[in-house]
Structure 1
Amino acid sequence: MNSLLLMITTLLYSACQTAPAGDDFFLVQQGRSAYVIVTPADATKAETKAATIFQDYVQRISGVKLVILPEGQYKDQPAVFIGNTTHTMGPDRIKDDGFFSGSKNKQLYIRGGSGQGVIYGVYHVLQTYMGCRKDDKGPAAVPTLKDIRIGGALSVLREPAFIYRESYYPASTDPEYLAWHGLHRFEDLWGLWGHSFFKLLPPADYFKAHPEYYSLVNGKRQPLQLCLSNENVYALTVAWFKKAIAGNPDAMYWSVSPQDGGGACTCDLCRKADAEEGGPQGSLIRFVNRVAAQFPGQRFTTLAYGYTAKAPLKTKPAGNVYIMLSTIDAFRQEPLSQAPSAAAFRKNLGDWEATTGNLFIWDYTTQFTNYLAPFPDYQQLQPNLQYFARHHVKGVFSQGSGETYGDMAAYNSYVQAALLWQPDADIKMVNDGFLKGYYGPAAPFVGQYMDALSAAVKSTRSTLDIYGNPIYNIRDYLSPVLIDQYSTLLDKAEAAAGNNNTFLQRVYETRLFLEYVVLQQSRFYGNEKYGYLQPDGSVNPKWPVRVKRFTDQCKAVGVQELSEGGLSPDAYAQEWQELFSREWINSLALHAPVTLVNAYTPEYSPKKEATLTDGLTGGNDFSYNWLFTYGKDMVATIDMGSSKAIRQVQLNFLQDARHYIFNPARVLIETSADGTTFKSAGVKEIPAPEEDYAIHINHYTFPVAGTARYIRVSAQCPATLPEWRLVEGKKPALCCDEVSVQ
């Protein structure tokens, strides 16, 4: 632990080490103790572990190692009773994995409900009364004291609002952090987690010989989902669970859930069930209930997500079936209880609440496409969890950046942990407790930084989209002007941290989020102000150094990937090297105005029509420097201002099947002197793609002879998605980047 925090903690404790008043007592005084730790005669594993943890931390704080005794050997000396000993105080029953801590007659009592409740109780006492902290996955902060004083008349009962509590951030990889904050991991609770259909019946094992096991979509069996009316699918699923449960008898939950995506089966039997139940959730719930009936002692979960989000009209989930409802379609700048984008979620929540008493929520508190982008939903954390509790939700999986470092990861995890226990906790006290413990004297300025972000989201009416991008917010809460204001607050935080390396490093880590935005937005600006290029198109010499410093810091703090399934810091640096090495092409059409016949998709084309003539070419991410046209032809007319001699036109199209982006079926280049009469200058017919989910940038060059003022590019959108990517409700999109005229 850093020296400054130790000094502050020691001063605070020393100030309190006067003679005990009332029931106050010294557990350790002047480096000595008369106390022992007493456990039940037949202690559980959790009770034994809790006693060992308490013993260890008392020794770390004071140097005194308290003796642990089973209750049968206890001789009425001063004691800390850990577990359900016969020497007890507090309620007869503790709900779920809650805990109780109390003191009476200068004795200390720590008890727990089920599971690790008693361990949670020990960590609560260590933090609340003994000055220890663990705010991230690093080592716990432990003060060094000769005296440990316990305030008198303690009586604290904590029973969690939710039986399942997961905040999915890097700290959740540390078992002690989880126990300290009373959190869970799905790896510890689920024998089978998440989208599980193809874990039960992998297409690689079954599809070739038994296509009938998989969904019938557009008249053809496809390995998109399972056919839930097929009796062999049911039999194989039951057989799989018999073996898996026997091999993992301690697992609390087992998932039977569709794959991520569409493709529900439309065979006659599945369609009949779905018609009776109001949608594909019908055949799913009936199937899960059948499986669950074979294992009445087990608990099964399934996902209310995508095409199964709605509650069925007739069939209720069985008593041992838990529904995990997703909030994925909602924006995050407002509480879910009132956000217009969450209207469908609220309807589904109410319907599921009326259908089952076993309801979990799968929530999201990060931007999956840019983990490091500032995502200030901080003020929604409490109202959202309060809303879930009011609707009798039993568990919450709050998905953050996972094992990789993301925006305010330590803060989000800490606050979510507190609110998952007590949604109505004093949020100011929770926030202040974390900020002061984590940032020390820099805390006020980091708090102001977070408040400024939240205020800017409101004042600029920004959208917080879990699949957003920093370049979509250049005109609102992540504008360059506001970024400078945020940076000034972090400058003050750095100054306040002084030469304390721990606090200073944490401020540096917080600054990474702004630095990431600046780097990403510089790709949008190109050779304009705030871009990575100079006005002549050459690379700003400061930028390679800046990128290297950023990626080095990312690796130092544990960034594994910058987006869900995205680039590592090293791959990100390599991507920048490719950008730096690109030749700047002084196109005859540079910054020429563009007229479109069909509208671009504004949320994915922040530069609008200018994307085609801004001098910047696109990369693998369709968010940057691609003109996105959804379901229609791209017909663009470029006015070069005067007649010019032309020898070629070059342009690129992106293929990204995962996002339904494909090559055009046909590209036609035309030229004109007056903008009215056009003549063909070249045409290419492009064959339909074979199945391929890799990202490709396809280059097309058209030789052109003569002079023209206007260039018209007509890219024909494919009529339908290819059969291998055919999903109901989706259309193909076109992404075109720079139209370079030489």
Structure 2
Amino acid sequence: MKKDTLIILCSLLLFLCSCSKNQVTIVYNGKSDYEIVLTDNASQEQHSSAETLKKYINKVGNVKLNIVDKSSQTTDKQNIYVGNIKEEDLPPHEIRIKTENDNIFIYGGSDEAVKNAVFEFLGNYLGCKWYAPGVEEIPLSKIISIDPIDFSYSPEITTRTVHSKLFYENHEFADQQKVTHEAFPKYVPEAKVHTFHRFVPEEKFYESNPEYYALRGEKRLPTQLCLTNEKVLQIVKDSVASLFKKTPTASVISVSQDDNQQHCQCNNCSKIDKTEGSPSGTMIRFVNQVAKSFPDKTISTLAYQYTRKPPKTRPESNVLITLCSIECDRSAPISEKCTDFASDLIGWGRLTNNIRIWDYTTQFTNFLAPFPNIYTLQPNIQLFRNNNAKWVFEQHSHNPSELFELRSYVTSKLLWNPDLDIDELLKEFTTGYYQEAGPFIKKYIDLIHTKIQEDNDFFLFLYGDPSEAFSSYLKPELLKEYAQLFDEAEKAVAHKPEVMERVKMARLGIDYAILEACRKNITTEYSLLVDNQESKKTINPMVASLLDNFINTARKNNITLVNEMGFTVNEYASNYMSALKIAQKPNKAKGKKVVTLTKPKKYANEDPLILTDAALGGSSFYANWLGYEGNDMEVIVDLGESQNISTVSLAFLQVTNHVVFLPSYVSYSASIDNRSFTPLGDIKNPAPLQKTSKVNDIKRFDLTFEPRKVRYLKVSAKNTETPYWHHAAGLPSWVFADEIIIN
């Protein structure tokens, strides 16, 4: 037995010794026999990559290596070559890392590839991790040894963009994650997307030349351009030429539809679209003519909404198709719940290899709300990769949003390698960034994603609202469980203030969801008001604490926006505190019957009782608002009996980019018998709709009058028609109202 044990130990020792001989030791006990060698004609970018390598080897092993050119390298030193020292013929995006005779070669087919190769070496072989700007994990060791390497990799997605200010404002972090520094690299700055109105501005041409614009019904409207008008084509070509001349370093310009679906339906345009089988027919024919005039440039256009379905005509080789997935349900992979988009992607792939994907990864109406789509990121990116999309733009919120750092990190990693283990990737980040709190946050992520998967009918929409999920993955008992997980996470890092702040930022999503649940009064626990010891209604202490923490965490971390419409955290806080004041007011209309004389549509289950249910609408039209499309709002509130009243107030919502406008005026009138109504007064909109109007707003239309006996109160809100200059010109607008207060 002892003899067998000795043989095993000797064999193990020989094995370990042989491994040690094969290893390349860069640093040993604070010393190194290596220097970093560049080609004699190395670019500034390659010098920068060498400096990066030097910096991190010093951080890991506490040794500063020299950087030299090949012609001046030291003969008795081992070498780490940065750059294509062997002058191999490589594709521009391919990276290679090799060891030969104890030398290390880190190179690629371009300067960008060399930079990527350096970070790949530092990450995969030296164990460096970069979780967020300024948050890195560097293994400190007196010995840096690596096993033999023969690694090559060509990323299939060659232009990788994550729309996050973490990358745009921190270029080193973008380099570490191998994504672009900006949203539209190589584009003309003034012409990145939705450019028709820039090339042929309505202010300049509409009055004199309405024929340049889209025919909608019997009227020309400046919503889109008439793409069969030869003069329009020439104006666009001239504009493109002028912009390229202004920005000679740019190689890409967008010639693309404006952000609406009101395309031209004139006979010429309609005939082409019918022949092509899609409104993208006129678009591609038009853009192709522009592209032929600029053969050395790339003309980008959109396959978006009405142009998403591919035509029969092939785009020119220098036309970049930007295919957008805005309509898709984000609760599951695109291939499962957005098959029309997947089909269109395949269709465009038959016409061109020049495809850019514009994908979406956050809820634009509620940046900070829980949005359980993380496990769809990988299959979606794989779908794009598998269909030959070389350029992927993942439109995150740009500004801080739910799990902002985690999403930015995970998305960038998947763009570089779509086949990573997503679960391990999430563990890596949560453990590294949130440290001891990581397991609790990972458990939260897994739980909320499990719960949405259990609700197969839920449509997770980019323009949705947490209120839609209060019977699904945000139901009260789950909100409580999520909050408990974050309580545990905070306890775990209570001794680490910096990490605690990261956990509080991660918690903002659940705190926001609970605040919105309380605004809607979904349970006695999740409500704005509770009974105190004297059985009087008072502000829910949980709400006061959550709102205070929410505001303080947001302000401390420079989180300023709640949604893409520019609704700020400060405005949210002000609006919420106003809601608390309103909730405390006596209200003779609370719970009373409401009859609508005009027809509401779609939202709030079309139930007029939403106006008196004591649940207050938020900044999104999904959040407890009664909507009227293309008609005026007219309702009657029955107070049940005649009562003395002297004030009435009703809130209205504005979201101009979604064609939701404040009413032009509101009229209140009163009756005893529900037959004869006496006017009480009119309130004109104090801020009539203009191009510069606030995009997202909530205003109460308040009226005070001499006390009088009233049983029935009628409210008439006049719809504001969509103006000709609005992107939805020709379409009906909405009026949204909520919570009438009568005293």
In the other structure, the counterpart of 1:112 is 108
CA RMSD between the two structures: 3.4
In the other structure, the counterpart of 1:141 is 137
Aligned partners of 1:292 and 1:537: how far apart in 2?
67
Identity of aligned residues (%): 28
**Per-residue deviation, residues 303-322 of structure 1 (Å, max 9, x unmatched):** 1112222212x321101111
Please state whether the residue corresponding to 1:134 is helix, strand or coil: strand
Displacement of 1:25: 1.9
In the other structure, the counterpart of 1:25 is 24
Aligned partners of 1:432 and 1:690: how far apart in 2?
49
The 5-angstrom pairing of residues 356-375 of structure 1 reads 356-375=352-371
Aligned partners of 1:634 and 1:81: how far apart in 2?
73
The 5-angstrom pairing of residues 116-131 of structure 1 reads 116-131=112-127
Please state whether the residue corresponding to 1:333 is helix, strand or coil: coil
In the other structure, the counterpart of 1:738 is 739
Aligned: 1:188 with 2:185:
yes
In the other structure, the counterpart of 1:554 is 554
Cα 1:661–1:560 change in 2 (3 A) is closer
In the other structure, the counterpart of 2:11 is none
The 5-angstrom pairing of residues 152-301 of structure 1 reads 152-173=147-168, 174-184=170-180, 185-191=182-188, 192-207=191-206, 210-301=209-300
Please state whether the residue corresponding to 2:356 is helix, strand or coil: strand
Aligned: 1:660 with 2:662:
no
Aligned partners of 1:409 and 1:632: how far apart in 2?
40
Aligned partners of 1:218 and 1:40: how far apart in 2?
66
Aligned partners of 2:76 and 2:273: how far apart in 1?
67
Aligned partners of 2:266 and 2:567: how far apart in 1?
40
Cα 1:654–1:574 change in 2 (3 A) is closer
Please state whether the residue corresponding to 1:476 is helix, strand or coil: coil
**Partner amino acid for 1:299?**
T
The 5-angstrom pairing of residues 605-620 of structure 1 reads 605=604, 608-615=607-614, 618=617
Aligned: 1:392 with 2:388:
yes
459, 467, 474: which one pairs with 2:470? Answer: 474
Please state whether the residue corresponding to 1:483 is helix, strand or coil: helix
Displacement of 1:447: 1.1
TM-score of the superposed pair, with normalisation by structure 1: 0.86
In the other structure, the counterpart of 2:41 is 42
Instruction: Using the TM superposition, name which of 583-592 and 55-64 deviates more.
Output: 583-592
In the other structure, the counterpart of 1:79 is 79
Aligned partners of 1:712 and 1:503: how far apart in 2?
55
Q: What stretches of structure 1 of length at least 5 have no aligned partner? A: 1-16
Contact 1:526 1:532 in 2 (8 A): no
Aligned: 1:523 with 2:524:
no
Please state whether the residue corresponding to 2:119 is helix, strand or coil: helix
The 5-angstrom pairing of residues 285-324 of structure 1 reads 285-312=284-311, 314-324=312-322
Aligned partners of 1:457 and 1:332: how far apart in 2?
10
Aligned partners of 1:502 and 1:98: how far apart in 2?
38
In the other structure, the counterpart of 1:14 is none
Displacement of 1:260: 1.2
Contact 2:579 2:616 in 1 (8 A): no
Please state whether the residue corresponding to 1:318 is helix, strand or coil: coil
**Per-residue deviation, residues 403-426 of structure 1 (Å, max 9, x unmatched):** x21112222222222221222222
Aligned partners of 1:575 and 1:740: how far apart in 2?
16
Contact 1:446 1:490 in 2 (8 A): yes
In the other structure, the counterpart of 2:348 is 352
Please state whether the residue corresponding to 1:332 is helix, strand or coil: coil
The 5-angstrom pairing of residues 528-543 of structure 1 reads 529-535=525-531, 536=536, 538-540=538-540, 543=543
**Per-residue deviation, residues 321-372 of structure 1 (Å, max 9, x unmatched):** 1111111111111111011xx2432332232222222112111110101111
Displacement of 1:273: 3.3
Aligned partners of 2:178 and 2:482: how far apart in 1?
33
Q: Between Structure 1 and Structure 2, how many residues are aligned?
A: 711
Aligned partners of 1:619 and 1:372: how far apart in 2?
14
In the other structure, the counterpart of 1:8 is none
Aligned partners of 1:714 and 1:344: how far apart in 2?
43
In the other structure, the counterpart of 2:5 is none
Cα 1:696–1:31 change in 2 (3 A) is closer
Displacement of 1:111: 1.0
Aligned partners of 2:309 and 2:682: how far apart in 1?
43
TM-score of the superposed pair, with normalisation by structure 2: 0.86
Aligned: 1:336 with 2:334:
yes
In the other structure, the counterpart of 1:509 is 505
**Partner amino acid for 1:59?**
N
**Partner amino acid for 2:370?**
P
Aligned partners of 1:731 and 1:686: how far apart in 2?
22
**Partner amino acid for 1:165?**
R
Please state whether the residue corresponding to 1:737 is helix, strand or coil: strand
Instruction: Using the TM superposition, name which of 695-704 and 450-459 deviates more.
Output: 695-704
**Per-residue deviation, residues 657-701 of structure 1 (Å, max 9, x unmatched):** 43333538986857576xxx7443449899997656445636275
Cα 1:270–1:517 change in 2 (3 A) is same
**Partner amino acid for 1:108?**
I
The 5-angstrom pairing of residues 82-93 of structure 1 reads 82-86=82-86, 92-93=88-89
Please state whether the residue corresponding to 1:188 is helix, strand or coil: coil
In the other structure, the counterpart of 1:442 is 437
Instruction: Using the TM superposition, name which of 342-351 and 449-458 deviates more.
Output: 342-351
**Partner amino acid for 1:738?**
E
**Partner amino acid for 2:335?**
S
**Per-residue deviation, residues 616-666 of structure 1 (Å, max 9, x unmatched):** 6656654444322345665655554x5333546735363634333353898
Displacement of 1:518: 1.8
Aligned partners of 2:249 and 2:475: how far apart in 1?
51
Displacement of 1:171: 2.0
Cα 1:606–1:556 change in 2 (3 A) is farther
Q: What stretches of structure 2 of length at least 5 have no aligned partner? A: 1-15
Displacement of 1:249: 4.1
Displacement of 1:725: 4.6
Aligned partners of 2:428 and 2:161: how far apart in 1?
21
Contact 1:611 1:625 in 2 (8 A): yes
**Partner amino acid for 1:158?**
Y
Aligned partners of 2:317 and 2:54: how far apart in 1?
42
In the other structure, the counterpart of 1:586 is 586
Displacement of 1:209: 5.3
Instruction: Using the TM superposition, name which of 207-216 and 424-433 deviates more.
Output: 207-216
Please state whether the residue corresponding to 1:21 is helix, strand or coil: helix
Please state whether the residue corresponding to 1:131 is helix, strand or coil: coil
In the other structure, the counterpart of 2:10 is none
Please state whether the residue corresponding to 2:260 is helix, strand or coil: coil
Cα 1:98–1:715 change in 2 (3 A) is farther
Cα 1:541–1:505 change in 2 (3 A) is closer
Please state whether the residue corresponding to 1:186 is helix, strand or coil: coil
The 5-angstrom pairing of residues 422-437 of structure 1 reads 422-437=417-432
Displacement of 1:105: 1.9
Contact 1:196 1:256 in 2 (8 A): yes
Instruction: Using the TM superposition, name which of 481-490 and 498-507 deviates more.
Output: 498-507
**Partner amino acid for 1:654?**
F
Cα 1:206–1:721 change in 2 (3 A) is closer
Contact 1:691 1:724 in 2 (8 A): no
In the other structure, the counterpart of 1:132 is 128
Instruction: Using the TM superposition, name which of 664-673 and 462-471 deviates more.
Output: 664-673
